[in-house]
Chains A and B, each alone.
Chain A
């Protein structure tokens, strides 16, 4: 598992540090650093909680997603 933190985007709020149950992140000089990437089990809570969207995971298993509303998807497809 590779975790990349965009240092320019990270605001150092520490939410990922508090939220991660496996203590993957640590704040160093007010920037989040993935110190234990091998402990990451890929829940992606940190992605959801990060206000700056500064995180990127590589080599992760993406779970099946059925919950996205079909009509919303159709509308998004027209826009994107």
Chain B
């Protein structure tokens, strides 16, 4: 490695900026547009981690990621307002997921209400539109519905349980390139 190159490298990381301990950055640096490469890097990294986990742990990978997501959901939602009604809980959840995921409550046309009772179980259909997990999986050419999706499931279940104080379960009904249908089962 030539001395010139090392000097050049040092030059790139040197500035006359004075940074005090009390300085709080007020905006994202650099501009979001310049973060595109960083985002792709993070997505690639996540994809690699998940692919390796699947290779090593096999089907057990789903349980690991689900548990991790659920724990995280509980941790994050504990600072949110506690709600007994499911509608309110979903509203809180939507705030919690903003920027990473967007979802809507959905029902088939033959159902009258969004809270559906069928075969002894009560559930709500959720359609996830924007989803960083889907983006990551498609960026890396991985199948949807695997361990990374389980992290999101766990996250949603953990958050709903924390907000409502009721046990919940989430099931994948269908995954697609533009939206995914999930069933939130209330216990």
Q: What total of A-B pairs shows CB separation below 8 Å?
A: 68
Q: Is A67 a contact of B176 with CB atoms below 8 Å?
A: no
- CB of A52 to closest CB in B, whole Å: 17
Interface pair B39/A63, CB less than 8 Å apart: no
The yes or no answer to A48 lying at the interface (CB within 8 A) is yes
In the assembled complex, which residues on chain A have CB atoms less than 8 Å from the CB atom of B134? Answer: 63
> Does A9 have its Cβ within 8 Å of any Cβ on chain B?
no
**What string of 1s and 0s marks CB contacts (under 8 Å) between A28-52 and chain B?**
0000000010110111110110000
* Complex Cα–Cα for A43 and B69 (A): 24
User: Which of A36, A38, A44 contacts B179, CB < 8 Å?
Assistant: A44
Q: What does DSSP make chain B's interface, helix, strand, loop or mixed? A: mixed
What does DSSP make chain A's interface, helix, strand, loop or mixed?
Answer: loop
For residue B39, give the distance in angstroms from its CB to the closest CB of chain A. 6
Q: Which of A21, A48, A61, A66 has the most chain B CB within a 10 Å cutoff?
A: A66
Cα distance A66–B134 in the bound complex, in angstroms: 10
Q: Which of B93-132 contact A (CB under 8 A)?
A: 106, 108-109, 127, 129-132
Option from A47, A61, A66 in Cβ contact (under 8 Å) with B135 = A66
> Across the interface, which residues of A come within 8 angstroms of B43, CB to CB?
66-67
Report if A47-B179 is in contact (Cβ < 8 Å); known contacts: A66-B43, A66-B135, A69-B40: no
Q: Mark B124-154, 1 if CB is under 8 A from A, else 0.
A: 0001011110111011000000000000000
A43 and B179 contacting across the interface, CB-CB below 8 Å: yes
Complex contact A63–B136 (CB within 8 A): no
> Nearest Cβ in chain A — how far from B149, in angstroms?
14
Give the chain A neighbours of B131 by CB distance below 8 A.
Answer: 63
B178 sits at the interface (CB 8 A)? yes
Residue contact B174 to A21, C-beta cutoff 8 Å: yes
- What chain B residues lie within 8 Å of A13 (beta carbons)? none
Binding site for B on A (CB under 8 A): 21-22, 36, 38-39, 41-45, 47-48, 60-67, 69-70
**B interface residues (Cβ-Cβ under 8 A, vs A):** 36-37, 39-40, 43, 106, 108-109, 127, 129-132, 134-136, 138-139, 173-181
